[in-house]
Amino acid sequence: MSNPAGRLTVKSDGTVSGPASISYNDPFPCVNGSWGSGAMQGVVMHTMVGNLPGTVTVFNDPSYQASSHFGIDQRGHIHQFGPIGKSWIAWAQMAGNLAWYSIEHADNGNPENPLTDAQITASAQLVEMLSAFAGFPLQVTDSVSGRGYGTHVMGGAAWGSHTCPGPGPRAGQRTAIVARARQIRTGPPPVTWQARALADAEQIEAGATSLAALLTTGDTQIRAQAIETEAAALVTLLKAHQ
C-alpha cells in the first residue's frame, strides 16, 4: 500500500502543522486545561458521542471542565485544542491527564460507528507525530503502565470508569491506525523498475492509440496500429509480473 499521508510536525508555538486539514481553537488553548505535564507515555483514543462542532462548544465552556488535545471529524479534519510541548494538560482522562495525550473522534452520537478511513489517516498522522515528539513507541497498549496508543477505558476508576471508546469497533481500529502511522514514518516504498516500465509502456500504448485514431489510411496508420499492439502486449506482460 502506498503512503497514505505525510508527516505532521510541532511548531515552536506548540501548534501542529503539515499536510492535513487543521484548525486551532479560539481561544488557544481552550479554557478547560491546566499546566505542568512532563514526560508522556502515549496517547489515548476517545470517542465524542457526538460530532466536532458540539465538542468544540463543550470544551470551550468552563462549566464542563473537559477537554482534549485534538478532535477529528469524519472527514479527517483535525481541530487542536491546546499546544504540544508546552506542558499544557488536557482534562480528558482524570488520573491519566499528566502523562497521556488525548484524541477525540467524532461518531455522530453513536460510539458503535466505526472510524472512517479519513479519521484513521488523521489519527495515524497525529499518533506518528506525537510518538516522534515525545519518544513513545508506535504500538497499541491496553495498560496504564504501558506506552503507545491506549484507550480511555483502560484506566478504570482512576480514569473515570468510562467505556470510551467502546463498545463499538473503534478500540480495535487502533491496530490499523498504528500500522498506518508506521507507514507514514517510513515513507512510500521505492518505485521498482517494473513499475516504471509499466508506466512507460502504458504511456506509449495510449499515444499509439491516439495516433492511430487520427490517421485514416496509409502506411503511417498501419505502423501506429502495430506500435499500439506491441505496447498493449508489453503492458499485459508487465502487469502479469508485478
The H-assigned helical ranges of 60-192 are 117-134, 174-186
Verify that 55 and 137 share a domain, yes or no.
Answer: yes
Confidence of residue 242 (pLDDT cuts 50, 70, 90): low
Verify that 103 and 223 share a domain, yes or no.
Answer: no
Instruction: Kindly tell me if the per-residue pLDDT of 221 is higher than 70.
Output: no
Q: SS3 for 13?
A: coil
Verify that 139 and 208 share a domain, yes or no.
Answer: no
Verify that 179 and 108 share a domain, yes or no.
Answer: yes
Q: Is residue 171 a contact partner of residue 165, using CB atoms and an 8 Å limit?
A: yes
The domain in which residue 207 lies consists of 193-240
- For the whole model, what pTM was predicted? 0.79
Verify that 46 and 85 share a domain, yes or no.
Answer: yes
Instruction: Kindly tell me if the per-residue pLDDT of 238 is higher than 80.
Output: no
Within a domain: residue 141? Answer: yes
Number of domains forming the structure of the chain: 2
Verify that 177 and 66 share a domain, yes or no.
Answer: yes
pLDDT at 141: 98
CA 102 to CA 46: how far, in whole Å?
A: 7
Strand order in the sheet with 70-72: 22-24, 78-80, 70-72, 100-105, 42-47, 148-151
Within a domain: residue 3? Answer: no
Q: How many helices (H) and strands (E) does the chain have?
A: 5, 10
Verify that 181 and 207 share a domain, yes or no.
Answer: no
Verify that 85 and 110 share a domain, yes or no.
Answer: yes
Verify that 21 and 117 share a domain, yes or no.
Answer: yes
Verify that 68 and 172 share a domain, yes or no.
Answer: yes
Within a domain: residue 218? Answer: yes
Q: Could you tell me the CATH number of the domain that includes residue 119?
A: 3.40.80.10
Within a domain: residue 37? Answer: yes
Do β-strands 42-47 and 148-151 pair in parallel, antiparallel, or remain unpaired? Answer: parallel
* pLDDT tens readout for residues 65-105: 999 999 999 999 999 999 999 999 999 999 999 999 999 99
Verify that 142 and 216 share a domain, yes or no.
Answer: no
* pLDDT tens readout for residues 97-142: 999 999 999 999 999 999 999 999 999 999 999 999 999 999 999 9
Instruction: Kindly tell me if the per-residue pLDDT of 2 is higher than 60.
Output: no
Verify that 116 and 211 share a domain, yes or no.
Answer: no
Confidence of residue 3 (pLDDT cuts 50, 70, 90): very low
Amino acid at 19: P
Q: Which of 170, 186, 202 is the last residue of a domain?
A: 186
Average pLDDT over residues 4-20: 95
Within a domain: residue 4? Answer: no
Confidence of residue 1 (pLDDT cuts 50, 70, 90): very low
* pLDDT tens readout for residues 157-207: 999 999 999 999 999 999 999 999 999 999 876 666 666 777 777 787 777
Average pLDDT over residues 207-219: 67
Report the DSSP beta bridge partners of residue 9.
17
